[in-house]
Amino acid sequence: MSRSNRTRAFSLVELLVVIAVIALLIGILLPALGKARDTARKAKDASQHKASLQAMSTFGSTSDGTFPLPSLVDLSDSTVTASNLQEKDNTGNVFSMLIYEDYLSPNDTVSPVETNDQVEVYEDYQRSNPELAQNPEFASWDPGFAGVSDEDGQGATATGRGRASEKSNNSYALLPPFGARKLAWRTDAESSIGLMSNRGTMYALQSGNWEITTSGIAPGTKSNTLRFYGSSKTWAGHIGYGDLSVEYSTVPDPDRTGLVDTTNNDKIRDNIFFNESDTGSSSNRTQPERGFNTFLRPWYNITVDGNGNVNATPWDMLDRGSGRGGGD
């Protein structure tokens, strides 16, 4: 056989060159693929915010402009029982009403950027005769849907029935529909009012600026929510407003929500995860009927005392006592 007809093999050097080129291409393509994936997840998260706001608006068009309020539809305690009807108005029940009416699906309430392993889709949602309801035939939503994790899935809750699971079926924070904020729980809410958002971490006001807390029993720097969009030091997420628009923000106090007046004649930027008091302190964390600024958290364990005062537990870093991933 002539030398010209012999099959030429790769030399070791050529093989190494090919391997190097492949490695280079992988190094270029992987970040691009990761960025494309992150972009798609971000777009889907924004879409789910929009879907929830639209669902609330559609519901409002059938109820004189009022967004879903379990306390207004479950008057006979057919779904859940409560000593005061307002105790039914927790985040889980609100979203469950929208799903029950087929305005949303259970998948819409779990964000594609969710980082807490205690949040999962409620696959067995029952749109008819939900078995966990007090009187399934006349129920207004499936009470098995949980707005937060560890919402006593084993039995009695503040609403009289247990959730289907100890895990949460919801990723998102809502405006609490109590006190003056209830005026914004409508289709005619002002465009500066935040109605929902990705969950957020804990903050403190430092020299007029909102800083993530770094100390205490539940420092904000340990929050699952800081990893929604790739950062372990700053929060970023979507905010849905009263005009049904959705915006991506890298700060918890966007210009759009404006300023909050205090008795110190100061004006502080409205942090959407903070119930600013007259002095800018956080004394009203569990008193959502106080104030009118945007204050977004998942809410549960609603109680109303003998004087009509509403207290509620926000699902945040300070609500991690269960040890199961807890709030946040």
Three-state secondary structure string covering 54-79: HHHHHHHCCCCCECCCHHHHCCCCCC
Name residue 327's amino acid. G
- Mean predicted lDDT score pLDDT of the chain: 88
Q: Is the pLDDT of residue 152 over 70?
A: no
Residue 252 lies in a domain: yes
Q: Choose between 140 and 205: higher pLDDT.
A: 140
Residue 9 lies in a domain: no
pLDDT tens across 87-138, in order? 999 999 999 999 999 999 999 999 999 999 999 999 999 999 999 999 999 9
Residue 154 lies in a domain: yes
Residue 224 lies in a domain: yes
- For residue 75, give both structure tokens: 């008057």
**pTM across the whole model:** 0.86
Under the banding of pLDDT at 50, 70 and 90, the label for residue 155 is very low
CA distance 186 to 67: 5
Q: Is the pLDDT of residue 36 over 50?
A: yes
Three-state secondary structure string covering the chain: CCHHHCCCCCCHHHHHHHHHHHHHHHHHHHHHHHHHHHHHHHHHHHHHHHHHHHHHHHHHCCCCCECCCHHHHCCCCCCCCCCCHHHHCCHHHHHHHHHHCCCCCHHHHCCCCCCCCCECCCCCCCCCCCCCCCCHHHCCCCCCCCCCCCCCCCCCCCCCCCCCCCCECCCEEECCCCHHHHHHCECCCCCCCEEEEECCCCEEEECCEEEECCCCCCCHHHCHHHHCCCCCCCCCEEEEECCCCEEEECCCCCHHHCEEECCCCCEEECCCCCCCCCCCCCCCCCCCCCCCCCCCECEEEEEECCCCCEEEEECCHHHCCCCCCCCC
Residue 54 lies in a domain: yes
Q: Choose between 202 and 323: higher pLDDT.
A: 202
Q: Which domain holds residue 111?
A: 33-319
Task: Supply the pLDDT for residue 218.
Answer: 82
Q: Choose between 165 and 142: higher pLDDT.
A: 142
65-69 contacts at long range (C-beta below 8 A, 24 or more positions apart): 65/186, 65/187, 65/188, 66/185, 66/186, 67/94, 67/177, 67/185, 67/186, 67/187, 68/94, 68/97, 68/98, 69/94, 69/177, 69/185
Under the banding of pLDDT at 50, 70 and 90, the label for residue 153 is very low
In angstroms and rounded to an integer, the radius of gyration of the C-alpha atoms of the chain is 24
Least confident of 150-154, 192-196, 318-322: 150-154
Task: Supply the pLDDT for residue 138.
Answer: 97
Residue 122 lies in a domain: yes
Q: Is the pLDDT of residue 83 over 60?
A: yes
Q: What is the mean pLDDT of residues 212-222?
A: 88
Residue 13 lies in a domain: no
Least confident of 86-95, 142-151, 160-169, 171-180: 160-169
Q: Is the pLDDT of residue 279 over 60?
A: no
Task: Supply the pLDDT for residue 150.
Answer: 81
Task: Supply the pLDDT for residue 16.
Answer: 84
Residue 68 lies in a domain: yes
Q: What percent of the chain has pLDDT over 90?
A: 64
pLDDT tens across 232-265, in order? 889 999 999 999 999 999 999 999 999 887 656 6
Q: What percent of the chain has pLDDT over 70?
A: 87
Task: Supply the pLDDT for residue 104.
Answer: 98
Structurally, how many domains does the chain consist of?
1
Q: Choose between 192 and 10: higher pLDDT.
A: 192
